[in-house]
């Protein structure tokens, strides 16, 4: 005869605890105005990326079948004007959101996996030879000029979307690894971890059940900030001519308008919209990232 709903299994207890924690964090996050503005902008662009192909057919992006006037300024039929193939710039920007966000998320996922793997291993085995070696590797990648490394890698691997993602992931995991290692080092010293070790927990159990959950908040806030950097990296690589020539990303639209002579001919409607989209999205990710950092890692705020 229990008056309140008491969960019985350990799993249910964990689930209830997570739900409470989420509600608590969400309540704090909602009070951050920059965080909420960023979230709204992100939801908008994510929806745009998902429904993009419904609004913009493949025909509108195909240079050979585009029907609009060439290089026309904004008009009623083409709100953002047209490019040198007669394609609507608005359609290009909508289609570009898909590729740019895809590259941003996929590259970040790659960077987080490498960074978490290296950082947790180094931190968990802190002070040993493994830590020294992994730490040296991390510091080495931090020191390398990332853009030049990315250029070298991208020019060798070739211009495909997958390679761009790989290149950005390889050049951006190091700062994550350093952050995760520092967190793992402090978590490792907590009493309950010592208790688990005394009870005979193996390395795998310790990392999966004690280190990873405590490193996760740091990792998550860092991931949101890394997406912004990845989108900027994709833009830079595209402007330098290393983007996938078959994909329409915001960076590639900028590159095409630049190479077609938009600057000297004053075709501003072709150049400005993709850049504004990039600024909105990176700004939104940055604002969400800072807001999340304050919610999830209040102790780190002094950094």
Partner 1 sequence: MGGQHYLARKIAYAFVTLIFVLTFNFFLFRVLPGDPVGILARSERLTAADVAQLRSQYGLDQPIPRQYVTYFENTVQGRLGVSLRSGEQVSSLIAGRVWPTILLVGLGTILSTIVGVTVGIRGAWTRGSRFDRNTLYGALVFYAMPEGWLGMLLLILFAGTLHWFPAGGYASADSVGFHRILDIANHLILPCLTLTLGYIGSYSIIMRSSLLEVMNEDFVLTARAKGASDGVVRRHHAVPNAILPTATLIFLSFGYVLGGAIVIETVFSWPGIGLLTYDAIRQLDYPVIQAVFLLSSATVILATLLTDIMYGYLDPRVRAS
Residues at the contact surface with partner 1, assessed by CB under 8 A: 140, 143-145, 147-149, 151-153, 155-157, 228, 232, 235-236, 239-242, 251, 254, 258, 262-266, 268, 271-272, 275, 278-279, 282-283, 286-287, 302
Distance CA 175, CA 152 (A): 20
CB of 65 to partner 1, least distance (A): 28
Q: Which two three-digit tokens encode residue 221?
A: 């806030």
**Least distance to partner 1 from the beta carbon of 139, Å?**
8
CB nearer to partner 1: pick between 122 and 151? 151
Measured from the CB atom, is 122 or 225 closer to partner 1?
A: 225
Cβ-based neighbours of 64, under 8 Å, separated by 6 or more? none
Rg of the chain taking only CA atoms, in angstroms: 23
Residue 282 falls in which region: left (phi positive, over 0), alpha (psi -120 to 50) or beta? alpha
Nearer Cβ to partner 1, position 10 or 145? 145
Nearer to partner 1, 66 or 228 (CB): 228
Between CA 275 and CA 282 the distance in angstroms is 11
Identify which of residues 7 and 298 has a Cβ nearer to partner 1 in the complex: 298
Q: Report the distance separating Cα 37 and Cα 49, nearest Å.
A: 19
Q: Find the shortest distance in angstroms from Cβ 16 to partner 1.
A: 38
User: CB 84 → partner 1: shortest distance, Å?
Assistant: 16
Q: 197, 135 in Cβ contact below 8 A?
A: no
């Amino acid at each position: 005869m229990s008056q309140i709903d008491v969960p019985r299994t350990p799993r249910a207890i964990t689930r209830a605890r997570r739900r409470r924690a989420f509600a608590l964090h969400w309540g704090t996050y909602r009070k951050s105005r920059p965080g909420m503005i960023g979230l709204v902008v992100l939801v908008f662009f994510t929806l745009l990326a998902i429904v993009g192909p419904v609004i913009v057919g493949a025909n509108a992006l195909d240079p050979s079948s585009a029907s609009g006037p060439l290089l026309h300024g904004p008009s009623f039929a083409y709100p953002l004007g047209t490019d040198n193939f007669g394609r609507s710039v608005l359609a290009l920007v909508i289609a570009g959101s898909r590729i740019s966000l895809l590259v941003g998320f996929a590259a970040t996922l790659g960077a987080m996996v490498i960074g978490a793997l290296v950082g947790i291993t180094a931190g968990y085995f802190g002070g040993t030879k493994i830590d020294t070696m992994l730490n040296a590797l991390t510091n080495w990648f931090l020191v390398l000029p990332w853009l030049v490394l990315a250029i070298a890698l991208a020019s060798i691997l070739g211009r495909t979307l997958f390679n761009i993602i790989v290149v950005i992931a390889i050049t951006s995991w190091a700062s994550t690894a350093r952050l995760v290692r520092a967190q793992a080092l402090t978590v490792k010293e907590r009493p309950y971890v010592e208790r688990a070790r005394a009870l005979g927990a193996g390395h795998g159990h310790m990392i999966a059940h004690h280190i990873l959950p405590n490193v996760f908040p740091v990792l998550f806030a860092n991931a949101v900030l890394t997406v912004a950097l990845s989108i900027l990296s994709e833009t830079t690589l595209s402007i330098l001519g290393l983007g996938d020539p078959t994909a329409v990303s915001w960076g590639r639209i900028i590159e095409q308008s630049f190479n077609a002579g938009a600057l000297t001919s004053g075709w501003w409607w072709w150049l400005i919209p993709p850049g504004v989209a990039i600024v909105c999205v990176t700004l939104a990710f940055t604002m969400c990232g800072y807001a999340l950092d304050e919610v999830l890692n209040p102790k780190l705020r002094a950094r």
